[in-house]
């Protein structure tokens, strides 16, 4: 998508927000608070982590957001841990 950072491109921000709309209300509420607080500060790395999280099923995502589980395997990275911390504190 070129060299435009996520936070500089309103269309990219809108797409990410749209992708964050989930089937479970709890997930929607967490993401809404998260975007209200952090949207304009997100780096492209943060967006990549969020994109990976949004590929998960609703229940798996909720388990991570509510700290019922911690990231494992491919998801276990310092960036993932940091972004999950931001989501959990939002």
Rounded CA separation 90/48 (Å):
19
Domain 6-89 is found in CATH 3.30.70.1380:
no
Residue among 56, 50, 61 nearest 83 (CA) = 50
Q: Tell me the mean pLDDT in the region 27-56.
A: 91
CB-count burial class (<10 Å; 0-12, 13-18, 19+) for 83: buried
Tokens of 61: 């995502």
Q: Where are the domains of the chain?
A: 6-89
For the segment 70-85, the average pLDDT, to the nearest whole number, is 96
Please state the rounded mean pLDDT for residues 29-54: 91
């Amino acid at each position: 998508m070129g060299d435009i950072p996520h936070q500089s491109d309103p269309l990219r921000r809108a797409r990410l927000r749209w992708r964050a709309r989930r089937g479970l209300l709890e997930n929607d509420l967490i993401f809404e608070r998260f975007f209200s607080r952090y949207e304009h500060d997100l780096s492209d790395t943060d967006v990549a982590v969020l994109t990976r999280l949004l590929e998960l099923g609703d229940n798996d995502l909720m388990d991570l957001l509510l700290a019922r589980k911690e990231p494992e395997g491919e998801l276990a990275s310092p960036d993932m841990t940091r972004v999950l911390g931001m989501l959990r504190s939002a």
